[in-house]
């Protein structure tokens, strides 16, 4: 184990969970929540801050300001505290309470935007707010994760090579899309790799990142209420969209096996397992998905009964229970048996993950 003196100097990059017994399909999950910021956003935050320092944009009396649904805010709070900068995070009412408290505990100021923009999201409002702050005082420095190349470069330099090293036979990579920094960094890296890798972007229903109708989205991290400026769709082979109810069900399914992940991990794993279940079963693909964070920050949302019932109704787990009952009958109730993915001999159809038509497929 390394010995560190700065909190941003440690990140576990080599941990993967084999999800086959949970999902019933071969899928490895790269865990990005094991660092002092608790999420994948540490990488983007480090890269953007170091670049701004190198370029002389950040000086000791600068005040960092950023729009974040939470995780980047926590990562920047940690880095700012460690390096002696002030940091102001502009977030919205979907930000988890624990995430906000974390930022404040690290010494940051948090402003919560309450008004939604015309797409039903908060992003436009948050960005307008940041712009007005920057116009009011030149000490504010906005790193702008939505447009900053350091956001995708961090994943090109770290996340993608970490996956490549462990899975030299990788066939398909599932990446959740928010700012698309993770997606674009990995996609650019694997485009130049020694073998073709299918890049599948996972978005939430209601996000307009790849087009489509705007709708209610309650789980932070994934999805955008505008087209992400970093997105270059020529690097993306397919897009799948996942309903929030399926996200929740997958989070709870993993939690029942002892793996407490964040909401967006449920989205990515749900989309990936439906995608893999619909693939030709004779081809055993090497598939990896990325888990951006862990579940503690979601105890008052994704893992809280009242919150779930208010938003998704009383019957959100009924389909999952039915599937488990059939699985129990077929396996004789063995606790360690993988969930059955075939009911009555018919392969289970993807529930709501929909593939965008007309995407380029590489061999
Ligand atoms: C929990 C979570 N999931 C997914 C993402 C999406 O990552 P990216 O912004 O690189 O697309 C984020 C980004 O903030 C996140 O916090």
Report residue 214 as tokens: 């705007």
pLDDT tens-digit map of 122-171 = 888 999 999 999 999 999 999 999 999 999 999 999 999 999 999 999 99
**Range from 90-94, 230-234, 285-289, 301-305 carrying the lowest mean pLDDT:** 90-94
Query: What is the CA angle 297-303-309, rounded to 5?
Result: 130
Residue of 217, 190, 189 whose CA lies nearest to 203: 217
Atom of ligand 1 nearest to the CA of 178: 11
Atom of ligand 1 nearest to the CA of 263: 1
Higher-pLDDT residue of 211 and 342 is: 211
Residues with CB under 6 A from ligand 1: 39, 41, 71-72, 176-183, 221-222, 262, 264, 292-293
Report residue 127 as tokens: 């960005």
**DSSP secondary structure of 249-281:** HHHHHHHTTT--B-HHHHHHHHHHHHHHHHS-T
How far does residue 337's CA lie from ligand 1's centre (Å)? 32
Q: Is residue 105 scored above 60 in pLDDT? A: yes
What pLDDT, on a 0 to 100 scale, did the predictor assign at position 353? 53
Atom of ligand 1 nearest to the CA of 44: 10
Atom of ligand 1 nearest to the CA of 262: 1
User: Which residue has a Cα nearest atom 13 of ligand 1?
Assistant: 221
Element holding 52 (H helix, E strand): helix 41-54
Mean pLDDT over 227-244 rounds to 97
**DSSP secondary structure of 307-342:** HHHHHH-TTTTHHHHHHHHHHHHHHTT-TTSPPP-E
28-31/16-18 β-pairing: antiparallel
Beta-carbon contacts of residue 319 (< 8 Å; ≥ 6 apart)? 249, 351
Residue of 28, 16, 32, 31 whose CA lies nearest to 276: 28
How far does residue 147's CA lie from ligand 1's centre (Å)? 14
- pTM, two decimals, is 0.89
Beta-carbon contacts of residue 25 (< 8 Å; ≥ 6 apart)? 19, 273, 276, 277, 287, 341
How far does residue 178's CA lie from ligand 1's centre (Å)? 5
What pLDDT, on a 0 to 100 scale, did the predictor assign at position 346? 35
d(CA 16, CA 184): 21
d(CA 16, CA 279): 22
User: Which residue has a Cα nearest atom 14 of ligand 1?
Assistant: 221
**DSSP secondary structure of 105-130:** HTT-EEEEE----TTS-SHHHHHHHH
């Amino acid at each position: 184990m390394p010995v560190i003196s700065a909190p941003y100097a440690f990140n576990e990059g080599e941990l993967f969970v084999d999800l086959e017994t949970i999902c019933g399909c071969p899928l490895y999950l790269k865990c990005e929540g094991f660092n002092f910021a608790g999420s994948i956003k540490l990488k983007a935050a480090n890269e953007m801050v170091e670049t701004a320092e190198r370029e002389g944009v950040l000086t000791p009396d600068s005040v960092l300001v950023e729009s974040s649904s939470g995780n980047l805010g926590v990562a920047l709070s940690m880095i700012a505290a460690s390096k002696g900068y002030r940091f102001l995070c502009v977030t919205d009412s979907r930000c988890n309470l624990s995430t906000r408290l974390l930022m404040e505990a690290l010494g940051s100021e948090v402003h919560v935007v309450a008004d939604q923009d015309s797409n039903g999201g908060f992003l436009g409002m948050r960005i307008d707010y940041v712009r007005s702050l920057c116009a009011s005082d030149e000490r504010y420095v906005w790193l702008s994760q939505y447009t900053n190349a350091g956001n995708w470069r961090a994943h090109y330099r770290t996340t993608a090579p970490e996956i490549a090293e462990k899975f030299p036979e990788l066939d398909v990579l599932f990446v959740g899309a928010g700012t698309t920094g993770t997606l674009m960094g990995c996609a650019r890296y694997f485009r130049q790799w020694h073998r073709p890798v299918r890049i599948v972007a996972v978005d939430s229903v209601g996000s307009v990142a790849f087009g489509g109708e705007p709708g209610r989205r309650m789980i932070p991290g994934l999805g955008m209420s505008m087209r992400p400026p970093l997105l270059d769709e020529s690097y993306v082979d397919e897009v799948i969209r996942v309903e929030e109810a399926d996200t929740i069900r997958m989070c709870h399914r993993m939690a029942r096996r002892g793996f407490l992940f964040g909401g967006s991990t449920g989205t990515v794993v749900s989309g990936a397992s439906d995608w893999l279940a619909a693939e030709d079963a004779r081809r055993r693909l090497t598939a990896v998905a990325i888990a951006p964070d862990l579940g503690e920050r979601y105890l008052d949302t994704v893992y809280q009964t009242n919150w779930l019932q208010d938003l998704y109704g009383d019957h959100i787990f009924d389909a999952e229970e039915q599937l488990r009952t059939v699985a129990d009958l077929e396996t004789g109730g063995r606790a360690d048996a993988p969930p059955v993915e075939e009911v009555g001999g018919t392969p289970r159809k993807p529930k709501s993950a929909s593939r965008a038509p007309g995407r380029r497929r590489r061999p």
